[in-house]
């Protein structure tokens, strides 16, 4: 979409996004679903119909994890700027990236993402503050005493949230605190502080930016089971104790053809606790090479996930973990799989795009 066309579209918007901030666009005009051919989508350079606009018309956002380095590529930058109403830094805000040496900070990639999002009127989901992965080596290998680990964690949360105060719509404050069996994940934070590290991190984030929405983000909780129940119990206990938690992130890293049928029920259960729900890291991987039938199955699963959000009043939006197959983590981590995202390596829309648009355009609750 040309910049002038985007400005015209935003000027016509009237319905605010749930939990919108000053930098977020609102809603757009109705979408003519009948005009969409299955598996087709207009070229981004010349049409105002976008996934973000379709989501905004329902009071939700559609976002993606952004590789800041890829923003130097014109097609990637254009697609991210045109299609999305929210962005998440894929890596740029993780502790190991922002503080590679103790007390030495590199904010340039994170600042670039924030500037890009603000220039395009997009929400920003900060990701992630407290996680067992991608920690700086000085922290992991420092042999710190438990009280030092606690102090360093709290300082990190306060410093990063404080730096971006007023710019970040929501933070994934604690990421993946649970093991696959529903127990606590054994990590450096748990060893030092026990389960209290979750509430300590949430309280520190709230103190640093009272206006930001605060999430616990987890994978493998999209269907009923021990891990999902453990997350439910954790959020319920945080709410009972008055800990500031605003939402639950369901990552939704899924295999195409196996999207859970009870996802709407899971979303409603979490929402019943008085928190928002968001799909935070959606992708649907396909065993390579993907056939046309595989792509149609994937499209149906994308629609299933988006529809679950559309039918859950407190589901505020969906974020794909990347937007184009050319910049996807899947092939590097899941041998023999790929083609997990809505747009292919050539930035062409896959059948998933039309399916997402139709799912957002369907009548809501």
**Cα–Cα dist 110/312, whole Å:** 31
176 part of the active site:
yes
**Are the C-beta atoms of 53 and 91 separated by less than 8 Å?**
no
Q: Which of 83, 90, 97, 281 is catalytic?
A: 281
Cis amide leading into 289 (omega within 30): yes
**Are the C-beta atoms of 121 and 177 separated by less than 8 Å?**
no
Question: Nearest-CA neighbor of 80 among 342, 357, 360, 351?
Answer: 342
Contacts (Cβ under 8 Å, ≥6 apart) of 126:
88, 89, 93, 160, 161, 164, 168, 170, 171, 172, 212
**Are the C-beta atoms of 210 and 203 separated by less than 8 Å?**
no
**Cα–Cα dist 187/79, whole Å:** 37
Count of CB atoms within 10 A of residue 233's CB?
Answer: 11
Using the CB atoms, write b or e for 142-181: b if 16+ within 10 Å: eebeeeebbebbbebbbebbebbeebbbbbbbbbbbbeee
Quote the tokens at residue 361.
């355009």
**Cα–Cα dist 299/361, whole Å:** 15
**What SS3 class is residue 33?**
helix
The residues facing 126 across adjacent strands are 171
Cis amide leading into 213 (omega within 30): no
Q: Which of 99, 176, 218, 222 is catalytic?
A: 176
**What SS3 class is residue 21?**
coil
| Catalytic positions, written as ranges | 176, 281
């Amino acid at each position: 979409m040309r910049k002038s066309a985007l400005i015209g579209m935003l000027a016509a918007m009237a319905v605010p996004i749930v939990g919108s901030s000053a930098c977020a666009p609102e809603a757009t005009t109705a979408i003519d679903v009948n005009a969409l051919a299955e598996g087709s989508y207009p070229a981004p350079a010349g049409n105002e119909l976008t996934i973000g606009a379709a989501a905004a018309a329902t009071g939700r956002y559609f976002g993606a994890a952004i590789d800041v380095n890829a923003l130097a590529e014109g097609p990637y930058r254009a697609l991210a700027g045109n299609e999305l109403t929210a962005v998440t830094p894929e890596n740029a805000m993780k502790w190991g990236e922002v503080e590679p040496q103790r007390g030495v900070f590199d904010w340039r990639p994170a600042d670039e993402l924030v500037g890009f999002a603000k220039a395009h009127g997009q929400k920003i989901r900060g990701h992630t503050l407290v996680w067992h992965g991608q920690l700086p080596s000085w922290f992991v290998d420092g042999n710190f005493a438990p009280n030092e680990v606690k102090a360093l964690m709290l300082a990190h949360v306060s410093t990063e949230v404080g730096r971006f105060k007023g710019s970040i719509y929501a933070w994934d404050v604690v990421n993946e605190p649970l093991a696959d069996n529903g127990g606590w994940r054994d990590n450096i934070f748990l060893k030092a502080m026990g389960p209290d590290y979750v509430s300590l991190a949430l309280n520190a984030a709230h103190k640093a930016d009272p206006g930001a929405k605060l999430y616990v983000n987890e994978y493998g909780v999209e269907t009923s089971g021990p891990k999902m129940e453990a997350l439910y119990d954790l959020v319920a206990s945080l709410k009972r104790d008055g800990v500031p938690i605003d939402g639950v992130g369901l990552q939704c890293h899924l295999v195409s053809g196996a999207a859970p049928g009870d996802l709407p029920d899971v979303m409603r259960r979490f929402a019943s606790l008085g928190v928002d729900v968001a799909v935070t890291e959606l992708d649907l991987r396909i065993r390579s090479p993907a056939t046309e039938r595989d792509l149609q199955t994937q499209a149906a699963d994308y629609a299933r996930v988006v529809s679950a959000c559309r039918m859950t009043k407190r589901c505020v939006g969906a974020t794909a973990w990347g937007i184009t197959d050319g910049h996807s983590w899947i092939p590097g981590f899941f041998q023999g799989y790929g083609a997990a995202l809505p747009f292919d390596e050539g930035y062409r829309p896959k059948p998933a795009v039309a399916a997402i648009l139709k799912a957002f355009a369907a009548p809501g609750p």
